[in-house]
Amino acid sequence: MTTAAYDAPGPQPLVVRTVAVPDPGDLVDLLPGDAPLAWVRRGEGLVGWGVAARTEVGGPDRIEQAAGWWAAVARAALVRDEVRVPGSGLVALAAFTFADSSAESSVLVVPRVLVGHRVHAGRPVWWVTTVSTGGVPPSPVLRPQPAPPAPVGLRYADGAMSGAQWELQVDEAVARIGATRLEKVVLARDLMALTEEPLDVRWPLRRLAATYPGCWTYHVDGLVGATPELLVRRERGLLTSRVLAGTIRRTGDDEHDLALAAALARSSKDLEEHEYAVRSVAQALEPHCASMNVAESPYVLHLPNVMHLASDVTGVVDTRDATAVLDLAAALHPSAAVGGTPTGLALDTIAELERMDRGRYAGPVGWVDATGDGELGIALRCASVADSRVRLFAGCGIVAGSDAAAELAEAQAKLVPVRDALGC
């Protein structure tokens, strides 16, 4: 399946202009209600609105389809970039489905207006990119928008399974790990939130960005969340991936949480789960790198609600390798952190035991530019928003030592960011 509002290459190439602007304030506060897009972390990143071009793809080669469409759009575009920093010039935001067989589409969107901010060469830089299919449009006036309305009549309902039903599936997964070649499988569950009026996605987006500044807060085509996990960043010859696997819930007591962090760092069950995830990422990136650095042991990443075992995998791109960030994402997805080990058997187990379509949950999400660089996270701590229906997701890595009740508690903790962001 491939459809496109702008079918590149076409008779009207995109006309793109990027100029520097004064500090307009917090990025997410600039977003109007017209098709808002966001990818921000610690106040830096990109926000956009409007649609200059868009494609929807699906199937096993969806990322490759999107990469081909994007390459054609980029070749045809007329770009004037006066800023020339990562994220300026022609940029699209992307969200891909987890599974090859998903009924949902994957999407790539070029906004009509894109505002960016980052610290570059030791100084803060702000810019605005405008995109059209005619003449060069004027730069918009940037100002904070009125606060979006809070959800009305918010209530929750079970998704595909209740908590008790999901625990039975965890037990089944553990049994299969003991009896087959399956070493690890990530099982997800969903939760439905219903509102009386259509949800303004900027409400949870603003709250997630404020509460989880160390995560990548995003919104692309109804998918909103704040992920702590970076699938891959390609930036001027350097590759980076942050791998998370192994989780424990925080208590709010600093001394107790330090003890829990130490226990997490020694947990054989969590270290085993983490090793699978790091290995899968390193093996996928190695063919594209002249050199790589993989930490010997993980560190504990502290977030407001949970702590994770984390490892950063970095590499220098081989000068003979022109692989773009979308192609790297295709090679990496799904990593063991969101699928399992071995990959094929884990994906078959997920399809059988989860009893739901993940949609874009746990798929690549982020941005790409015309040079092949970009930043794609894994769509975690997220929800899919469709008018008055909001579908929340959380997943847990199941290995031989997993306990169903503990995994359910972990899944509940991972639902907290979006639940809190929806609350009034």
* Residues annotated as catalytic (active site), given as ranges: 184, 229
Burial of 12 (0-12, 13-18, 19+ CB in 10 A): exposed
Residue (of 160, 88, 149, 163) closest to 120 by Cα position: 88
Mention every residue, 6+ apart, whose C-beta is less than 8 A from residue 19. 82, 83, 127, 128, 139
**Tokens coding 319:** 């000068």
Residue 315 one-letter amino acid: G
Indicate the DSSP class of residue 404: H
Q: Considering all CA atoms of the chain, what is the largest pairwise distance in Å, rounded to the nearest integer?
A: 64
* DSSP codes, 143-196: -PPPPPPPPSS-EEEE-SS-HHHHHHHHHHHHHHHHHSS--EEEEEEEEEEE-S
Q: Smallest Cα–Cα separation from 85: which of 134, 59, 121, 56?
A: 121
Burial class (CB in 10 A: 0-12, 13-18, 19+), 161: middle
